[in-house]
Amino acid sequence: MTPADVRESTRCPRRRSRRLAAVILAAGVGLAAGLGGALVAPPGHGPRLAGPVGLAAQEVPERRGVVAAGLRLRQLDGVKRVLMIGAHPDDEDTSLIAALARGHGAEVAYLSLSRGEGGQNLIGPELDEGLGIVRTGELLAARSLDGGRQFFTRAFDFGYSKSAEETFRYWPRQEVVGDVVWMIRRFRPQVVVSVFDGESPGGHGQHQVAGIATYEAFDAAGDPSRFAEQLTGSDAVEPWAPLKLYRSSRFDRDETTLALETGRFDPLLGRSHFQLSMESRSQHRSQDMGVPEPMGARAAPLALVRNRTGASGGLFAGVDTALLSLADGLPREHADRLRGVLDEYRGAVRAAEAGLDALEPWESVEALGRAARGMERAVAAAAEAEAPAGVRRALEDRLRRVREALLSAAGVVVDVRADDDLVVPGEVLEMEAAVWNGGPFPVVEARAEPTLPEGWSAEPLGPESVETDDSFRARLFGPDPASIVTGASGVEPGEVVRWRYRVRVPEDAEPSRLYYLARPRDGQMYRWPDDRSLWGLPRNPPLFGGSVELSLGAGIRVSAADSSGVSGDGGSGHGAGSAAGRSRSASGEQDAGGEVRVSVRRAGEYVGVDPARGEFRRPVLVAPAVSVRLRPRVMAWPLGAGEARAVAVSLESQARAGARGRLRLEAPPGWTVEP
């Protein structure tokens, strides 16, 4: 199977494909193509698929403008993390995820043991690994709506199982529990929610195993003697003991100890979290999961299973969710400094919440700018104190979130796109980074740089790179050559500024492949790569993108502490910006030149247009120059049978210039091959 087999049917005009057929007069024929770069399946796990596929989520309103700013403001204060664990895609309680992530600003993730490879497929022919890719895409579409994150273990869904004992014969117990422990230590939730009961028999064996593995991992994750290999080496994790374990009681409500409201109307979303979650659930299209989105009161029922806090009540009862708790355990001097910085940050966040206006969201920009600077100082203070990695990650995540909230409120849009979705080693493609200043504040200075894999190179392009076309469509949709810049540039309100680059892919670039399919499976378990940063991710990180730094002139005032010794780049690789023209005010504040520096990264995507559906986006992938497909893939031939049989060979070139070569079919001695 080639990348083309699992992508949509729309083809770029430059793609060319040639089919050749040969008649085989004996059995057991192999294939050798003198063209190179064929995408072939390694033994043991079926087809190697070049990249993510399935239903990509459309851009939703919650990601842009005042709604995005409001939702992100809910995430800026407090530390609340919840990990939900189930066996398959569509096992998760999307209403609980949506209510916690969108309504309460919590960090929520769903850990699915498998990718659902053994399920049905209502929408296409993909099965096994191919179906797992489709269902992974459906989960990502769901999470883009309900606001959660998505993780997986190595387990391959081998189909229905009658018991946990049977399932553990295919999914080794120690490996599955270890993967769950890894994700708990990596995500560091205070609360774990198991979709399934880990103590009662009955039901799907894989569901039972999901419950058992969750309960065991809850106990093991905080014990440094358990799965100790995870605690050493590159990208190691630290022991982490969650405080509370709940189980979903959707199917046995008599055991419910907590019902979390999900049907309340959210004015930011214009609907309830339950309604949003039903749209999220409807993304599981391959599984025939479309559902209505009813109005009215709803609740997610939970049963408390383990509690290390001793407190009863709400989901986070007894859990210290205060942002200031991140300073606990540090030496007193460092802890006091970090708490002081975080106090100022929290005050700025509260001011931003009070100032957010539906029609003029930029009223909150000044406060968000102060919050961003405050969090930069907090990150720097934590680094200076050599705080645990989990604390530093939590602060760095807040810094990223507050920067995104600032851009949303300011009406500044950053976009990175490529001119093609498939590129062959040795080819070039063009990428464009753009800043659209849709708000009232000038972007005093902006600059963009490509972020590329090792060995790739880029050269900047000027206005002459825009092809002139006087057609109506080009005048309406084409970029203005005057908007193309090189180097630093200001962006006035209403303007769009673009940076263009010609990106060269090295001749030895590896074809894109999903990290968990790069090696043959070990039975019913995927083999993860040596790079631990990939473990549990839905798919590979974006191939390339762009980094944009900008200085927003927003009349921001900062306290004198901003010029103290706890400033700098905040440990994020980007400075807080110069403060030109400082002057002490009567209130003890300084005028920092009204600027705040923001650094963001965006993945580079191909943006195309389908005549029937309009604009769509796809990830950029490296493809082999030629892909080869043999049909039928398997042929049973009785001994002594002498009749001729036909085998069809399909070649598809992804190279812009096409490909030339010679095709031959390899057969054992004495066999006859005729075209």
Residues 307-328 have pLDDT tens digits of 999 898 899 999 999 999 999 9
pLDDT-above-70 percentage for the chain: 83
Cβ 672 vs Cβ 666: under 8 Å: no
E-assigned strand segments in 400-544: 412-418, 422-423, 428-437, 443-451, 457-461, 484-485, 489-491, 496-504
Least Cα distance to 452 among 425, 431, 424 occurs for: 431
Pairwise CA distance, residues 181 & 240, whole Å: 9
The confidence band for 341, taking pLDDT boundaries of 50, 70 and 90, is very high
**Predicted pLDDT of residue 112:** 99
The better pLDDT of the pair 472, 293 is held by: 293
pLDDT at 359 over 80: yes
Domain 80-307 sits in which CATH superfamily? Answer: LmbE-like (3.40.50.10320)
Q: How confident is the model at residue 442 (pLDDT cuts 50, 70, 90)?
A: very high
| Residue-by-residue DSSP string for 119-184 | S--SSSS--THHHHHHHHHHHHHHHHHH--EEEE-SB---S--S-HHHHHHHS-HHHHHHHHHHHH
pLDDT by residue (tens digit) across 2-29? Answer: 333 333 333 333 443 333 333 333 333 4
Tell me the CATH number for domain 412-515+532-556+594-608: 2.60.40.10
Task: Say whether pLDDT at 77 is over 90.
Answer: yes
Task: Kindly indicate the confidence band of residue 36, based on its pLDDT and cuts at 50, 70 and 90.
Answer: very low
Number of residues that make up the chain: 675
pLDDT band at 474 (very low <50, low <70, confident <90, very high): low
What's the rounded Cα separation, in Å, for the pair 508 and 35?
Answer: 15
- pLDDT for 472 equals 59
pLDDT recorded at residue 634: 83
C-beta separation of 269 from 279 below 8 A: no
Domain(s) labelled CATH 3.40.50.10320 in the chain stretch across 80-307
Q: What is the mean pLDDT of the chain?
A: 85
Three-class SS state of 36: coil
Neighbour count for residue 521 (Cβ, 10 Å): 18
Q: What is the per-residue pLDDT for 674? A: 85
pTM above 0.75, yes or no: yes
Chain centroid offset of residue 464 CA: 35
Other beta carbons within 10 Å of 433: 24
**What is the arithmetic mean of pLDDT over 189-199?**
94
Q: Of 161-175, 200-214, 256-270, 581-595, which range is least confident?
A: 581-595
> What's the distance, CA 59 to chain centroid?
14
pLDDT at site 312: 84
Residue 592 has pLDDT above 80, yes or no: no
Enumerate the CATH 2.60.40.10 domain ranges in the chain, comma separated.
412-515+532-556+594-608
Where residue 553 falls among pLDDT bands split at 50, 70, 90? confident
Tell me the per-residue pLDDT of 454-471, one tens digit each, with 9 for 90 and over.
999 999 998 877 776 666
Residue 632 burial (CB count, 10 A)? 10
* Confidence tier at 580 by pLDDT (50, 70, 90): very low
Task: Using alpha carbons, list the distances in angstroms from residue 176 to 216, 297, 306, 589.
Answer: 10, 37, 21, 55
Contacts of 499 by beta carbon, 8 Å cutoff, 6+ apart: 432, 433, 434, 447, 448, 460, 484, 485, 486, 546
Which tokens is 287 given?
């599984």
